[in-house]
Amino acid sequence: MMYVRIFSRVGLMLILAVAMVACTENASGPNTSEVLNSGDLALLLAVQDDVQQLDDGGIVPLDSAYGVFSIGWNQFITPDQQEETTGSHAFAVAYDELSAIGIRRKAGGVDLGDVSVSYAGNSIALSEKATRMGGFIYSLFNHPRNTTAQEIEFVGGETYQMIISGSDNFTPLTVALTAPSSAISVDSPANGDTVDAAQDLVINWSGGTTDDPVLLKIVAHDRPGGPKGRHGHKPGDRPMPHEMPGAVFVTLDNNPGTYTVTAAELQDLLGDAASQHLAVHVSQVVKSTITHDGNPYIAALRTGDRVILTIQ
């Protein structure tokens, strides 16, 4: 089974620019390490968006979970710097109602106590972050002023445990997530390649598991700024990335290692705008549903890679 969404209007801001939403929403919040920062919310929204895309494809029933426990690795290539960076993420959030993890959920969840990630003899504590609208999210991120960045190393085949000490509102829980032998990596086209929009675009990747779903996001980039660029927007909430124009979103229910975007789809994607770049993002979510205290939660381990292409 394959699920595809194609949006034809161009002018989509970068997927990573959801961080700008978070910055705006947290601009008046206290400047302490206990407050959810833009990086935290950007990652939360990014994983929510992946889960929403899986829900749209009928793979994960979004309205039947009380929260998400997630560990993952994503390779990003910024269009301005063209530099590859690999970052790990981990977060935990649990609510006291169904449908709480849906799009644009800005409030945090219940108190989980202490949360840490244990793997290969290492233990890394997650920071408890309060949100402006109440509640807590537990994240790997420190405050930007902190000089020591915490990273979770990717170890192929390793079982990662998220250990939750619990509180009056949540009993202790250990969530186990096993990494694939290798992370998702885009093999071709290579970052910086030039592609002909009049030809089919064949995307090849390796890594991940064989049977778990793969998500592809092919995004047309417009100007870097200005009223029609990624910094221009109307007041109010932006749509989530999977709802935005100027992109092709594909959900595959397994991992074939290749996908072809037809020339017609590319033309639909680009429309009549002068977009000069495409971002191709391939990710895989190894997910499971766990039951705790009678409530279902989503446990997700995510790896991804992204390349930026020049349009000919």
Condensed to tens digits (0 to 9), the pLDDT of residues 276-305 reads 888 899 999 888 899 999 999 989 898 999
Give the pLDDT band of residue 175 (cuts 50, 70, 90): very high
Mean pLDDT on 88-100: 80
C-alpha span between 152 and 6 (Å, rounded): 34
* pLDDT(244) > 60: no
pLDDT at 147: 42
C-alpha span between 270 and 47 (Å, rounded): 26
Condensed to tens digits (0 to 9), the pLDDT of residues 21-64 reads 333 333 333 333 345 556 556 655 655 665 666 566 555 566 67
Higher pLDDT, 134 or 294: 294
pLDDT at 55: 65
Type of residue found at 26: N
Strands of the sheet containing 201-206, edge to edge, are: 185-188, 201-206, 258-261
Both structure tokens of 32: 């302490």
* pLDDT(132) > 90: no
* pLDDT(228) > 70: no
* pLDDT(164) > 90: yes
* pLDDT(8) > 90: no
pLDDT at 41: 60
Burial class from Cβ neighbours inside 10 Å (0-12, 13-18, 19+) for residue 148 reads exposed
Condensed to tens digits (0 to 9), the pLDDT of residues 96-125 reads 877 545 544 556 789 999 999 999 999 999
Mean pLDDT on 140-165: 79
Mean pLDDT on 154-176: 97
pLDDT at 303: 93
* pLDDT(151) > 70: yes
pLDDT at 292: 97
Give the pLDDT band of residue 135 (cuts 50, 70, 90): confident
Based on the structure, what is the number of domains in the chain?
1
> Counting every residue, how long is the chain?
312
Give the pLDDT band of residue 233 (cuts 50, 70, 90): very low
Q: Which residues contact 282 (CB under 8 A, 6 or more apart)?
A: 184, 186, 203, 205, 214, 215, 216, 304, 305, 306
Mean pLDDT on 5-13: 34
Higher pLDDT, 209 or 230: 209
Q: What mean pLDDT, rounded, does the chain reach? A: 74
Residue bearing tokens 């206290």: 30
| The dihedral formed by the CA atoms of 267, 270, 271 and 272, expressed in degrees to the nearest 10 | -120
Both structure tokens of 129: 């972050």
C-alpha span between 156 and 158 (Å, rounded): 6
pLDDT at 113: 96
C-alpha span between 133 and 269 (Å, rounded): 36
* pLDDT(137) > 90: no
Range of the domain at 88: 2-311
